[in-house]
Amino acid sequence: MADERIWHGGDLGEARRLFPGAPEPWIDLSTGINPIAYPPPALPASAFTRLPEPADHAALEAAAARAYGVADPACVIAAPGTQVLISLLPFLVDAREVAVVTPTYGEHARSWRAAGARVREVCGPEAAGDADALVLVSPNNPDGRLWPRATLRDLAGGLAARGGLLVVDEAFADFDAAQSLAADLPEGALVLRSFGKTYGLAGVRLGFALVRGDLGTRLRAALGPWAVSGPALAIGRAALDDAAWLDKAAPARRADAARLDALLAPLAGEAVGTTLFRTIETDRAPEIFAALGRAGIWVRRFQDDPRRLRFGLPCDAEAWGRVEQVLAALGR
């Protein structure tokens, strides 16, 4: 039977299986998560020992609304990670035919298929036709494609007019938010925002849906009470209200991305992507992947295109040095 698993980043067990002789510790560049994490605040014991209060949940959603520019906090729905929302949403929307703009994160198409929808993977929104739902990621993973806010509003309006839904996954939008739909949320659209990627705290498991109207009510009901843990509520609220940290992190990570581009250019020309990851396409991708793996550096490969590799950002001087050494040797 063919292996139907979707390859995700972060699987160091697979890295060690493929490259058992690689040096430890591994440098994991496979996830696109900020390598310089937000420093979590000290938490009171009650965050772990008590059930979260509704007021704490509301305070987190209000902090997210401020961070994302959403006028009405009631439109913000906190969840234990965006993956939960991606998996749950198709069971709450009456969509028989769904268009997903690809290549992109594979869980979107898989989740709609699991709910019984007919999924068409299309190269752009103009190919969606009369689909009941359209899913796109902006900025996109892995190529960084970004759709203008005006285009997204037009798409949402057209879908809403026939009872459809536009789903915009903005997991990587915090550092590239100029065209985000969050601050101008129209009817007929649902926006997903990830917390862990930007703040480097993927293990907190926190994400948000931004949506108006009845779909938001159904989504809250489906998530049920205490959907977000006490520690995640406290950490998420502190981070989202710390605009100064985000303002400092954004240019630092852009500088890291430019540094990585310069290392990759001799191997594959221009890289594409977002502030938190860079993607190359080259016939040498299997060779590069193997050389990095033997050196204990794990990057993201893709089932649908063996010519593509995605690189996250190294976390410190030692990691940068190891990456530079391997890439320089490959470029000779």
288: three-class secondary structure by DSSP: helix
Q: Hey, which bits of the chain come out as E strands?
A: 27-28, 76-79, 97-101, 118-122, 133-137, 165-169, 189-194, 207-211, 272-274, 277-281, 297-298, 300-301, 308-312
What letter does residue 301 receive in the DSSP assignment?
E
pLDDT at 286: 97
> Exposure pattern of 170-183 as b/e (b: 16+ CB <10 Å)?
bbbbbbbbebbbbe
CB distance 79 to 101 below 8 Å: no
Burial of 329 per CB tally in 10 Å (0-12, 13-18, 19+): exposed
Confidence at 2, pLDDT banded by 50, 70, 90? very low
Domain end point (choices 241, 259, 280): 241
Does the pLDDT at position 332 exceed 70? Answer: yes
Q: Are residues 52 and 193 in the same domain?
A: yes
Residue with tokens 């772990």: 48
Q: Are residues 72 and 210 in the same domain?
A: yes
Q: Are residues 288 and 317 in the same domain?
A: yes
pLDDT at 4: 61
Does the pLDDT at position 93 exceed 90? Answer: yes
Look up the pTM and report it: 0.95
CB distance 104 to 140 below 8 Å: yes
CA distances in angstroms from 24 to 177, 225, 278, 280, 286, listed in the order given: 36, 42, 24, 26, 22
Range of the domain at 16: 12-37+244-331
157: three-class secondary structure by DSSP: helix
* Domain tally, the chain: 2
pLDDT at 304: 82
Q: Are residues 129 and 213 in the same domain?
A: yes
Residues 6 or more apart whose CB falls under 8 angstroms from that of 166 comprise 133, 134, 136, 152, 155, 156, 159, 188, 189, 190
Q: Are residues 67 and 203 in the same domain?
A: yes
User: In whole angstroms, what is the distance from residue 277 CA to residue 31 CA?
Assistant: 8
Does the pLDDT at position 3 exceed 50? Answer: no
201: three-class secondary structure by DSSP: coil
Q: What is the pLDDT of residues 22-41, one digit of tens each?
A: 999 999 999 999 999 999 99
User: In whole angstroms, what is the distance from residue 38 CA to residue 23 CA?
Assistant: 28
Does the pLDDT at position 201 exceed 60? Answer: yes
252: three-class secondary structure by DSSP: helix
Does the pLDDT at position 156 exceed 50? Answer: yes
Residue 5 within a domain:
no
Residue with tokens 């994400």: 207
